[in-house]
Amino acid sequence: MASDARIPAPIPPPQPKISKFKIALCQLLVTPDKERNIAHARKLIEDAARKGAKLVVLPEIWNCPLSLKNLSKYAEDIDAEAACPSISMLSEVAFRNGITLVGGSIPELSAGQLFNTCCVFGPDGKLKAKHRKLHLFDFEVPGEVAFRESDFLTAGEEPTIVDTDVGRIGIGICHDIRFPELAMLYGSRGAHLICYPGAFNMSTGELLWELMQRARAADNQLFVATCAPARDPNTSAEYITWGHSGLVGPVSVK
């Protein structure tokens, strides 16, 4: 096995409370109405829990459209005492349904900086981990499209690995999946699953989205779960996502 060849050997994770579980990937259509997005996400999470899911994953930037210049209007200060409607909903729904929830990502405003942040909640509703997107995506096709996250967002500084009721999970956001070193780090620390909320566009999605998932799973002999926003049928949208959320398992190597 590939894991047997790692030097140093993987750090063994604690025994999870749940060894076999159902995962739900909530690929929801995002609108400019934040309250509607929150209500829609809650419904999908509750539906998934009723169908037996113990781990639920939301997409990247699910509480607002992926319009870089408008992200600050929807941002929440996760660490502040002020009301954070998206975060409050995630905490409450995780607790009420007794699930582990990888809460996709939302724009986070902290100390005057804007981050793309994923929060992980346990069945007790408590925040277990917070991952800020490490690798910002700057993309340009001259004369066609330009998308520069670094003009609006601040990159995170630390990888995120979290022990949950369903096992040890590594967290990445979208463009983080393009960097094999991050997945290798998570594998070396004993993660059996990496969750990547992501919103690849129509160009990079068709070329790379599935390929990257399969590569990270095969290279590190672990599971990879991705969750994307649903593709907006409105062709006038500023950013159109590829969609195609997925779950990829490790390839058996003998």
Q: 118, 174, 195, 227: which is the annotated catalytic residue?
A: 174
Terminal Cα distance for the chain, rounded:
6
At residue 146, the pLDDT reads 73
Top pLDDT among 226 and 7 is at 226
At residue 19, the pLDDT reads 85
Residue 80 confidence class, pLDDT cut points 50, 70, 90 = confident
At residue 242, the pLDDT reads 94
Q: List phi, psi (to 5°) of 51.
A: -90, 5
At residue 147, the pLDDT reads 78
d(C-alpha 26, C-alpha 23), whole Å: 10
60 tagged catalytic: yes
201-243 residue pLDDT tens = 888 899 999 999 999 999 999 999 999 999 987 767 778 899 9
Choice among 72-81, 166-175, 222-231, 241-250 with the minimum mean pLDDT: 72-81
Residue 132 confidence class, pLDDT cut points 50, 70, 90 = very high
d(C-alpha 145, C-alpha 165), whole Å: 42
At residue 112, the pLDDT reads 94
Residue with tokens 């997925």: 246
Q: At residue 148, does pLDDT exceed 70?
A: yes
Do the Cβ atoms of 29 and 44 come closer than 8 Å? no
Q: At residue 253, does pLDDT exceed 60?
A: no
Q: 60, 76, 108, 149: which is the annotated catalytic residue?
A: 60
9-62 residue pLDDT tens = 678 888 889 989 999 999 999 999 999 999 999 999 999 999 999 999 999 999
Residue 141 confidence class, pLDDT cut points 50, 70, 90 = low
174 tagged catalytic: yes
d(C-alpha 199, C-alpha 60), whole Å: 6
Choice among 4-13, 16-25, 90-99, 242-251 with the minimum mean pLDDT: 4-13
118 tagged catalytic: no
Q: At residue 2, does pLDDT exceed 70?
A: no
At residue 235, the pLDDT reads 64
Q: 130, 133, 149, 195: which is the annotated catalytic residue?
A: 133
Residues facing 50 on adjacent strands: none
